[in-house]
Amino acid sequence: MNPLQITNLTKTFKTPKGELLFAVNDVNLSITPGSIHGLLGPNGAGKSTLISLISGITAPTTGSITLFGIDIAKNPNAAKALLGVVPQEVVVEMAFTVEEVLYYFSGMYGVPTNERMDRITNVLNDLDLSDKRHAKAKSLSGGMKRRLMIAKAILHKPKFLILDEPTAGVDVALRQKIWDLVRRLNNEGTTILFTTHYLEEAEQLCESITLMNHGAVIKEGKLKDIQQEFSKNSIHFELYDRDVSHALGVLSTGSEFEFPMTNLAEDIAMLTKHYHGNIKTIRSEAASLEQIFLTLTA
């Protein structure tokens, strides 16, 4: 059963001039169980609107969303129990302590009373917030508030976790911690959807991505396949002895040589044969996600 299945989903807003803005425009999306999926796109692409629709905070104009086969419009409570969402905007209950906030949310998500304190201890440990357990939420730093938001979303051990820019504006150490947590939750069976503007982060964490622009999906699939599709189709290699007769079509590019690729296996076999034991390193060039992103959203 797919954690998320979105069918022909559209959300329009009226602009002040009375025109229709398609924040989400006929989106179809399905996410493989157990994956870490990146939802990418420029500012205003529609990512957060899509997440609000999945969370049930915003109602769609048309289309449907199912979480593990449950239609969120027909059975919102059952669907929400399977879902954890960390929204883009930091919203914490300022007047309460960290423990009080988490106790309240664990109750809201149906965590049994006798398990709540243990769960709170565990998530505070995971997010390095244990020493702030009795501090008022309003006294936390920005990064700590973001951690509290994540804690709120994972207390009930959701099967599907959505994080909207969880690492925006957080320091390097915390970013690593969030990555570790995302990977660990994923290893424990949680499917993850997250948005980020740090494309290297997406490259490190995601198996698959969806790229949105102007409300529509403009590319989706396995990250490796997309990189392959956009690869420069060339083989780069270094030689121990550079002063040799070169194979036809080989160009010198600084310390490396480049060969336009037609068939990876055949070309590497040809180059290896031509240069005997003279090849020091050899690789095919994969396009970076940043290059792909800029090409597709230009």
Tell me how far, at minimum, the Cβ of 295 lies from ligand ATP, in Å: 19
Decide whether 39 or 102 has the Cβ nearer to ligand ATP.
39
Least distance (Å) from ligand ATP to the CB of residue 261?
A: 35
Residue 126 makes CB contacts below 8 A (sequence gap 6+) with: 151, 154, 181
Q: What character string, x for contact with ligand ATP (CB under 6 A) and - otherwise, covers 75-114?
A: -------------x--------------------------
Phi, psi torsion values for 57, nearest 5 degrees = -75, -35
Cα distance between residue 88 and residue 236, in whole Å? 41
For ligand ATP, what does the binding mask look like between residues 11 and 50, x meaning CB under 6 A?
--x-------x-x-----------------x-xxxxxxx-
Number of residues that bind ligand ATP (CB under 6 A): 12
Partner whose binding site includes residue 41, from Mg ion, ligand ATP, none (CB under 5 to 8 Å by kind): ligand ATP
- Three-state SS at 201: helix
Strand pairing partners for 194? 38, 163
Structure tokens at 281: 């390193």
Which residue number, 14 or 134, has a Cβ lying nearer to ligand ATP? Answer: 14
Binding site for Mg ion (CB under 5 A): 47-48, 88
Q: How far is the CB of 34 from ligand ATP (least distance, A)?
A: 25
Which is closer to ligand ATP, CB of 46 or CB of 84? 46
CB of 214 to Mg ion, least distance (A): 14
Residue 98 interacts with which of Mg ion, ligand ATP, none, CB < 5 to 8 Å by class: none
CA distance 26 to 127: 37
Least Å from the CB of residue 238 to ligand ATP: 40
Phi, psi for residue 62 in degrees, rounded to 5: -145, 165
Which of ligand ATP, Mg ion, none is residue 23 near (CB under 5 to 8 Å by kind)? Answer: ligand ATP
- CB neighbours of residue 80 within 10 Å: 20
Strands 191-195 and 160-164: parallel
Q: How far is the CB of 85 from Mg ion (least distance, A)?
A: 13
Interface residues for ligand ATP in 48-67 (CB under 6 A)?
48-49
Q: Which amino acid is at 3?
A: P
Evaluate whether 68 touches 2 at the Cβ level (below 8 Å).
Answer: yes
Shorter beta-carbon distance to ligand ATP: residue 43 or 114: 43
> How far is the C-alpha of 38 from the C-alpha of 174, rounded, in Å?
19
> How far is 160 from 137, CA to CA, in rounded Å?
26
Nearer to ligand ATP, 47 or 132 (CB): 47
At closest approach, how far in Å is the CB of 199 from ligand ATP?
Answer: 13
Specify burial of residue 295 (Cβ count, 10 A radius: 0-12, 13-18, 19+): exposed
Distances in Å between the alpha carbon of 279 and those of 163, 247, 260, 283, 284? 45, 13, 17, 11, 14
Give the interface with ligand ATP as residue ranges (CB under 6 A). Answer: 13, 21, 23, 41, 43-49, 88
